Chains A and B, each alone.
Chain A
């Protein structure tokens, strides 16, 4: 099956929390810009020094040019603003005004982890449709180990179009009292007793308003799902068990909901040569305590390197993929040049695999 590639290349950087995906997304964006492509990096909750390096001190969905970099823009996801945009695009003005005042809407937009995931997809779609960039690099929100980002559009369609919601809000076009249809009435009375009065009704009113957005939101969600399918996905991991498990999950789940990952990047990789180094210190002129300290620690680093190499090989065999590596850096890179160096020192295949 052939898929029409959109004009803008999309790179989605995903992986478990704490593996360095925000940093790698920024580094990939910088490398792409330096290769002469107009590039936008959308970050989610970056470390302060990284945000400073990209010149995005505050959250905001409007891309700002990164100073000193001719082809690079950056934005930091503003979930609430994204949701206000979604509402104003898809709702009648009076419904939009009511929704924006609704405490549940505010709570959902501010705190619901799935709302952050959906908002990131929505922003991606907007940037792609703006057509102003050749490459858009997206850092994914951490909810659900990152997989929520890919599932959010479908979940959104299911929530708003779901059977339970139709049942609770009435089948036809909702009059506000449809909630109290005959069949639901005894249940709602019980619910009201337990929940203490108007909570459910308030939620239902909110849902009724939200349902009027269904057609627009469902179409949009499907559009976002298509962008995911056409995107290049990079899975970032370390050799630790928890992120590795998440990485495997991406390889298993993504072919069904987006596209198979293009590659896996092992961050904090040690040189394979360390796996074989025997710390032969006997020939050195060292006192006993120093010898022991060096010996113990160098053995450990060798063992770690050996373990990493085994893990990469096992992953590559199991998922028929090429494991790329980014070296374990002495300091977290936080300047533009240090970020660029990250990709320079990494496997040269990173950019090749990403077709950048």
Chain B
């Protein structure tokens, strides 16, 4: 996974994708690479896992070689217009931005392409060995990943079309870009992940380089009779819940494609501790 220049991390809401994105950036740094983590969706999630209070548009260092930033729509738009579309400095960007703002609110794909632009421009600039994106949840992922292709088709000619086509090609280039899908071994995340895999198989916008299963509970191998010998009450109830949850997870693990599994950490770790624990787990995977 980490030998790509652009890694997009997504998953159903609530599966822990910000923690996984943070841990991948920290692991890349541990391997000596320079890594930029960018939040497209929920900047606070990524910020807390990397132990910083807030994120800005400019990269903030968090560990040796590792920095983090968030997409600020207004700044991203400015960068998109000035640097990527080469709108002349003399042009009154204020009014232009206002027109664009209306487009962002209405025309399909414009909001998404402005957000997607930031990490892709960072890849083009080659300032970092790897750019890791904490992307929006699965429900919105398709409109983000598909935005460059949508715009390239929708716009008849001009700078936007060329730029969108180049972004689309960067995403589709398997040696450059990859998608990491994070899931948990539960019904809804498993089904949504499978649906996304099918969709991407039909419409290869980006190569899926890994399905990471988070919060895996390993069953305890107990000899027959041990369970019944446990004292009744909270201890037996806890052991029972553990075994039942592990068994339920097993059936979803069978449906999910093979990939890295991260152990359930229970709720006792703080966000930075969780990211550090997952980072350690990548040492062995």
Q: Does B158 contact A (CB under 8 A)?
A: yes
Which interface residue of B85, B105, B242 has the most chain A CB atoms within 10 A?
Answer: B105
Which of the residues A104, A271, A304 comes within 8 Å of B237, measured between beta carbons?
Answer: A271
CB-defined contacts of B270 to chain A, threshold 8 Å: 241
Query: With A293-B220, A303-B268, A304-B266 known to touch, is A194 a contact of B160 (CB < 8 Å)?
Result: yes
Which of the residues B96, B157, B242 comes within 8 Å of A196, measured between beta carbons?
Answer: B157
Check A330–B268 contact: CB distance below 8 A.
Answer: no
Q: Does A181 contact B (CB under 8 A)?
A: no
Check A197–B158 contact: CB distance below 8 A.
Answer: yes
Please give the distance in Å from A309's CB to the nearest CB on chain B.
11
The distance in angstroms between the C-alpha atoms of A48 and B194, with both chains bound, is: 13
The distance in angstroms between the C-alpha atoms of A286 and B102, with both chains bound, is: 69
Stretch at the interface among B32-40, B121-129, B135-143, B170-178: B135-143
Check A167–B98 contact: CB distance below 8 A.
Answer: yes
Q: Does A332 contact B (CB under 8 A)?
A: yes
Query: With A16-B14, A104-B108, A199-B107 known to touch, is A207 a contact of B239 (CB < 8 Å)?
Result: no
The distance in angstroms between the C-alpha atoms of A19 and B87, with both chains bound, is: 45
Which of the residues B13, B139, B156, B234 comes within 8 Å of A16, measured between beta carbons?
Answer: B13
The distance in angstroms between the C-alpha atoms of A89 and B186, with both chains bound, is: 41
Check B191–A191 contact: CB distance below 8 A.
Answer: no
The distance in angstroms between the C-alpha atoms of A207 and B240, with both chains bound, is: 59
Check A290–B234 contact: CB distance below 8 A.
Answer: no
Interface string of B8-40 (1 = CB under 8 A from A): 000011110010000000000000000000000
Which of the residues A245, A285, A286, A290 comes within 8 Å of B44, measured between beta carbons?
Answer: A245
Q: Does B155 contact A (CB under 8 A)?
A: yes
Which interface residue of B18, B44, B81, B238 has the most chain A CB atoms within 10 A?
Answer: B238
CB-defined contacts of B226 to chain A, threshold 8 Å: 286, 290
Query: With A168-B102, A242-B18, A242-B42 known to touch, is A196 a contact of B158 (CB < 8 Å)?
Result: yes
Closest to A114 in B: B105
The distance in angstroms between the C-alpha atoms of A203 and B154, with both chains bound, is: 12
Check B266–A300 contact: CB distance below 8 A.
Answer: yes
Query: With A242-B42, A273-B234 known to touch, is A285 a contact of B229 (CB < 8 Å)?
Result: yes
Chain B 129-162 residues near chain A, CB threshold 8 A: 137, 139-140, 143, 154-161
Closest to B189 in A: A18
Closest to B103 in A: A203
CB-defined contacts of A2 to chain B, threshold 8 Å: none
Interface string of A186-203 (1 = CB under 8 A from B): 011011011111111001
The prevalent SS among residues of B at the interface is helix
Query: With A17-B12, A194-B160, A297-B220 known to touch, is A239 a contact of B267 (CB < 8 Å)?
Result: yes
Q: Does A142 contact B (CB under 8 A)?
A: yes
Q: Does A277 contact B (CB under 8 A)?
A: yes
Which of the residues B44, B155, B238, B244 comes within 8 Å of A301, measured between beta carbons?
Answer: B238
The distance in angstroms between the C-alpha atoms of A113 and B136, with both chains bound, is: 12
Check A17–B14 contact: CB distance below 8 A.
Answer: yes
Interface string of A275-301 (1 = CB under 8 A from B): 001010000111100100110011011
Query: With A194-B87, A194-B158, A328-B241 known to touch, is A164 a contact of B102 (CB < 8 Å)?
Result: yes
CB-defined contacts of A318 to chain B, threshold 8 Å: none
The distance in angstroms between the C-alpha atoms of A238 and B16, with both chains bound, is: 13
CB-defined contacts of A239 to chain B, threshold 8 Å: 267
Q: Does B245 contact A (CB under 8 A)?
A: yes
Query: With A207-B102, A240-B267, A303-B266 known to touch, is A297 a contact of B14 (CB < 8 Å)?
Result: no
Please give the distance in Å from A210's CB to the nearest CB on chain B.
8
CB-defined contacts of B13 to chain A, threshold 8 Å: 16-18, 142
- 28 A-B residue pairs with Cβ-Cβ distance under 8 Å, sorted by A, are A17-B14, A18-B12, A18-B14, A18-B15, A47-B191, A104-B106, A108-B108, A111-B143, A145-B42, A168-B99, A191-B99, A195-B103, A203-B106, A241-B270, A242-B42, A274-B238, A279-B235, A293-B221, A293-B222, A298-B239, A298-B242, A301-B266, A304-B268, A308-B267, A311-B267, A328-B241, A332-B186, A332-B187
Closest 10 CB pairs of A and B: A18-B14, A17-B13, A196-B158, A107-B108, A330-B244, A196-B157, A277-B234, A301-B238, A304-B266, A196-B155
Chain A interface (Cβ < 8 Å from any Cβ of B): 16-19, 45, 47-49, 103-104, 107-108, 111-113, 142-143, 145, 159, 164-165, 167-168, 187-188, 190-191, 193-200, 203, 206-207, 238-243, 245, 270-271, 273-274, 277, 279, 284-287, 290, 293-294, 297-298, 300-304, 306-308, 311, 328, 330-332
Chain B interface (Cβ < 8 Å from any Cβ of A): 12-15, 18, 42, 44-45, 48, 81, 85, 87, 91-92, 95-96, 98-103, 105-109, 137, 139-140, 143, 154-161, 186-189, 191, 220-223, 226, 229-231, 233-235, 237-242, 244-245, 248, 266-268, 270-271
A196-B155, A203-B102 known, 9 other contacts, Cβ within 8 Å: A199-B154, A240-B14, A270-B238, A277-B238, A297-B220, A328-B241, A330-B241, A330-B248, A331-B248
